[in-house]
Amino acid sequence: MTVNQIVRIVAGFFVMLSLALGVEGSPLFVSHYWLWLTLFVGANLFQSGFTRFCPLDMLLVKLGVKENSGTGCA
């Protein structure tokens, strides 16, 4: 797997998790405050599209994961 694939998987997982924990109709509902995690993930993906700065991307590269052709989140 490449850095790009892992970043997309992690971002998607966190969005689904925060929705499962933050939406009242979910059987896993805990609190509406979990929706802030969805906002954080979305904002990070949005800004990385412009700045090419992605903390998870940099961490994965340092851990030796194979780099993709481009850089930045998703």
Per-domain residue ranges for the chain?
A: 3-62
Helices 3-22 and 55-62: crossing angle in degrees, nearest 10, is: 130
List, in sequence order, every residue forming a beta bridge with 66; answer none if it has no partner: 2
pLDDT tens-place string over residues 21-60? 999 999 999 999 999 999 999 999 999 999 999 999 999 9
List, in sequence order, every residue forming a beta bridge with 2; answer none if it has no partner: 66
Task: Please report, as a single letter, which amino acid is at residue 1.
Answer: M
pLDDT tens-place string over residues 2-29? 999 999 999 999 999 999 999 999 999 9
Whole-prediction pTM value? 0.84
Q: How far apart are the first and last CA of the chain?
A: 13
